Amino acid sequence: MNQELVTNFPVTDRAREALAVSLRGCEELIPQDEWLKKLARSEATGVPLRIKLGLDPTAPDIHVGHTVVLNKMRQLQDLGHTVIFLIGDFTSLIGDPSGRNNTRPPLTPEQIKANADTYYRQASLVLDPARTEIRYNSEWSDPLGARGMIELTAKYTVARMMERNDFHDRFKAGTPISVHEFLYPLMQGYDSVALKADLELGGTDQKFNLLMGRHLQVEYGQEPQCILTMPLLEGLDGVEKMSKSKNNYIGISEDANTMFAKVLSISDVLMWKWFTLLSFKTEAEIAALKKEVEGGRNPKDAKVALAKEITARFHSTAAADAAEQDFINRSKGGVPDEIPEVALSGAPLGIAALLKTAGLAASTGEGNRLIEGGGVRVDSSVVSDKALKLGAGTYVVQVGKRKFARVTLS
């Protein structure tokens, strides 16, 4: 490896400003001094750096938590660098073991294709499509073949692989580890070799895999990539990382009203982390806004600004304005102009059974949980009694902030 490629260029103020953009909100930048030298080289030579983000299409939709790394990609893209949006159609066949306590079931090729079809379209709401290189890792992984795979596995040891926390913990607990799972970090690392990446981004849970890319690039005689990890975004509950399985997420394909209301539901404390990781406002602008709130400004004003920015990004400014007005109407007890009309019989009917029958809850058990959480209203009044029965009549029933039905009970 020719170290002069990264060392013999002056570090200018512009390169340091690019470093500051890279560091904003990140968990780790490894090694920081190498990245600064790469930035200086790029500025001096006019050759953009190659910045890689890989996502396995394990689900059909991207949520706001995924956009933390996409936002960072866009910031680096705006500095003039080449960003590579890598769809892991090959690695999805293996299944990423990161953070797992058991073997992840591999997806079928049909599932992978169906999910991948939507990934880039959604990512393009953050990235500039005209300046984004789209790649699929099957391009080089399929031709590798059995011989190439054996040569690749010879470049890493089992002892090093077992240093990985999830493998170590599962082995110690006697939980099965399939041999094919060892291939995942190797194949992700080989992606960096194939793409000649200068920087790879990922969540903090991807650190082992990202470092594998550095290791393999050296093994293949390349200049090693730097790695930049971003924090995992806490979801709406403010505790667990954003996840569809935990139902604490905002899908970027959700309608504008739902997206806006969900952002407003986060805590005042979490709001500032979301500003840092999700907003395109400058750090100075965010600091000024935070100072105003600390000086007495209503924190809801700041949260509304964040909700409008995020909603406008995935919809439009007009949609964000309309979502704000819709939220104001609902907060005042207003009912949307058009809500489903439902006719039911069997009065008097228990409230939980009514919620299920009207399609406002999946089951009576869920209905009871919604009532316990204070999330059910009848004619604008919060329902606190799970034993409530409604007689014949017409009622406006509300679940949460967004579900309504006009129920006529006979």
- Do both 324 and 396 map to the same domain? no
- Do both 322 and 175 map to the same domain? no
Helices 268-278 + 67-78 axis angle, to 10: 40
> Which two three-digit tokens encode residue 4?
């002069």
- Do both 309 and 359 map to the same domain? no
Burial class (CB in 10 A: 0-12, 13-18, 19+), 229: buried
For residue 201, what are the CA distances in angstroms to 53, 55, 85, 309?
A: 5, 10, 11, 24
- Do both 350 and 223 map to the same domain? no
pLDDT digits (tens, 9 = 90+) for 300-355: 899 999 999 999 999 999 999 998 888 887 766 666 667 888 888 888 889 989 99
Q: Which residues of 258-282 are buried (b: 16+ CB within 10 A; e: fewer)?
A: bbbbbbbebeeebbbbbbebbbebe
Final residue of a domain: which of 295, 310, 331? Answer: 331
Query: Is residue 215 assigned to a domain?
Result: yes
What's residue 96's pLDDT?
61
- Do both 104 and 174 map to the same domain? yes
Final residue of a domain: which of 331, 362, 396? Answer: 331
Query: Is residue 71 assigned to a domain?
Result: yes
Query: Is residue 236 assigned to a domain?
Result: no
Helices 299-314 + 317-331 axis angle, to 10: 140
What's residue 334's pLDDT?
62
What's residue 101's pLDDT?
47
What's residue 2's pLDDT?
40
Q: What is the CATH number of the domain that holds 40?
A: 3.40.50.620
Indicate if the alpha-carbon torsion angle 85, 91, 95, 97 is positive or negative: negative
d(CA 44, CA 34): 15
Q: Which residue has the higher pLDDT, 99 or 279?
A: 279
pTM (2 d.p.): 0.72
Residue 318: count other Cβ atoms within 10 Å of its Cβ: 10
- Do both 82 and 183 map to the same domain? yes
Query: Is residue 237 assigned to a domain?
Result: no
CB < 8 Å & 24+ apart, contacts of 152-159: 152/186, 152/187, 152/190, 152/216, 153/182, 153/183, 153/186, 155/186, 155/215, 155/216, 155/219, 156/186, 156/212, 156/215, 156/216, 158/182
Query: Is residue 243 assigned to a domain?
Result: no
Query: Is residue 47 assigned to a domain?
Result: yes
- Do both 157 and 271 map to the same domain? no
Task: Name the pairing type of β-strands 226-230 and 393-399.
Answer: unpaired
d(CA 244, CA 341): 29
Q: Which residue has the higher pLDDT, 201 or 393?
A: 201
What's residue 254's pLDDT?
87
Q: What is the CATH number of the domain that holds 349?
A: 3.10.290.10
- Do both 17 and 73 map to the same domain? yes
Residue 208 sits in which domain range? 4-230
- Do both 146 and 23 map to the same domain? yes
- Do both 174 and 311 map to the same domain? no
Amino acid in position 251: G
Query: Is residue 27 assigned to a domain?
Result: yes
- Do both 314 and 347 map to the same domain? no
Q: Contact 48/80 with Cβ under 8 angstroms?
A: yes
Query: Is residue 347 assigned to a domain?
Result: yes
pLDDT digits (tens, 9 = 90+) for 258-281: 899 889 888 888 999 999 999 999
* Dihedral, 245, 249, 255, 257 alpha carbons, nearest 10: 130
- Do both 13 and 151 map to the same domain? yes
Low-confidence winner among 154-163, 183-192, 193-202, 232-241 (lowest mean pLDDT): 154-163
d(CA 355, CA 361): 5
**How many structural domains compose the chain?**
3
Final residue of a domain: which of 309, 331, 353? Answer: 331
Mean pLDDT, all residues of the chain: 86
